[in-house]
Chains A and B, each alone.
Chain A
Amino acid sequence: MSYRFFVNGDPVEVEVPGMRRLLDVLREDLALTGTKEGCGEGECGACSVLVDGAVVDACLVPICQVDGTSIRTVEGLGTQEQLNDLQAAFLETGGAQCGICTPGMLMAAEAYLATGGPTTDDAIREAIAGNLCRCTGYTKIVEAIAQAADRRRAASNRPA
């Protein structure tokens, strides 16, 4: 079967079995290896991507259900030379250590920041509760997300 959707703004068409996981399509068919596999059963969140803005575990989404949607992955954020504000906050605060949970963590955080929800410690922790990190104790991740939220709010309040 052939499935068409957008990845990071680019139109994509893949010819794969419909039950192939979105994760495998991204990593193997599209060579977008920024999205990681940690457990294959929706427990760790390392494969988190956005489907039409909603954060999902790409290991639990069959490609047939992605037809016609718009996918965003870590490759769609900033570049190494020009990190986006959230990535920059992670770098400054020490929110990334081994880095394997980081792409998924960033996508969960992006989804949360897009809702404009409260940036209290509790709210941020709930937003990333589906993303396991074994290195940081989460302290600096929460700090990074709060920092990015503050900067976005400040930027959007600035008169044009």
Chain B
Amino acid sequence: MALVILLATPLLAALSTLAVRSRAALLEVFAAIAAPVEFAAAAMIVVDVIGNGKSEYGSYLAVDSLGAVVLITVALVGLAASFYSIGYLREEVRKGIIGFSRVRQYFALLHLFLLAMFFAILTLSPIGMWIAIEATTLSTAFLISFYNKPSSMEAAWKYLIINSIGLLLGFFGTLLFLASSAESGMDRFIDWGVLTREAAGMNPMLAKIAFIFVLIGYGTKVGLAPMHTWLPDAHSKAPSPISALLSGALLNVAMLAILKFKIVSDAAGAADFSRNLLIYFGVISIAIAAFIIILQKNYKRLFAYSSIEHMGIAALGFGFGGLGTFAALLHMIYHSLAKSILFFAAGNMFVKYSSTKIARVKGVLTALPVTGVVLLIGFLAITGMPPFGIFITEFYILSAGIGGHLPVVVGVLLLLVLVFAGFLRHVTGMSFSEAPESLLSGESNYLTLVPPVLLVFLFVAAGFYLPESLNSLINAAAALING
């Protein structure tokens, strides 16, 4: 039943939002009710999965341990982003940047975006998952062009075209995988389980070709290089809470699609091939992101390139396998939290400084005392400094690769040093410099502070203590991927 609630809530919230004619407060109420309900439903599903190994409704909706790991991340980032959006949009309305109709459009699309992501995780059908992920592209295109500026229009167009092409290639790969099951009758519903069971009879060469298409297709959505070109533009032009959702939630959903197909392709006898491909794309992503991070001039693009880097690290972990898989899953969770923290801080900085240029942001610690601390913690967390969780996951991922891929591990280590140097240069420049005298010190409103601060506490706590239930859930998910 929780699965139905999880899908019905954002749908109802979107419809209710569209029905509102003039009262902006109602839009906020719908968002403030929907997000906790969705989080509670997701938590119930995860508890069910921990207890029974699976949570299902009818023949078409189900979540296993792998889906549960991604689901709880999406619900958590969705909860934080929904509350943050209320405070953020209030500020934009107060400054006269947007009006009521834009706020209504924003919340309606936000609910639809969440609905699409939840459906992608919950559906048992590979085609259903493709439809849902394509729906995320369509629901977020107008959120990226939200400010209606030429640059945001350009970013949205790029996002729409590149992702549509990528996802069609992913669809082609999906059909190639389905072809193996079609031989034993296409009149039935083919779910992930059927696909995996019957993959053993699939031609391994066909499985490899299909996995290439899937990896290029969904990899475009994950932001893996060289298909990443849309990501920095889209993430930097979207309103900050949407950037947090794009980075902290959507990338994980697309990665989930790749992992599900990796399981199928491994069952077809192409395990080494898929692992090597993930390592290849992972390294390229980390390398491209590292070199651009050091030269970056825009802090939202800086965080966007960091997402490419971290998805590359996760891909590397899945490619290394074994302990690397467990660490990569945990890395995806930590990255979601840390990146949401950073994008929320970016939103507060944008409201205060009206610019996303690093050179124009000075004295954040003085002008925005709480946001400044959040930014610093976010920076240390995302660059993998101890004692934060990302340090541990990166350590485990690289450890997993030392035996079989030593040159890759050494190269990635050097690139991570480069990323740290780049972040250090930019963040210290923004944080510790003198704030402009004309700038009034102080945060905008509590709703733009509470979500990032709570996420900081959660992130720090999760670095020191991982509950046994979550540990076993991630272990079960890793076992599914490792086969």
B partners with A: no
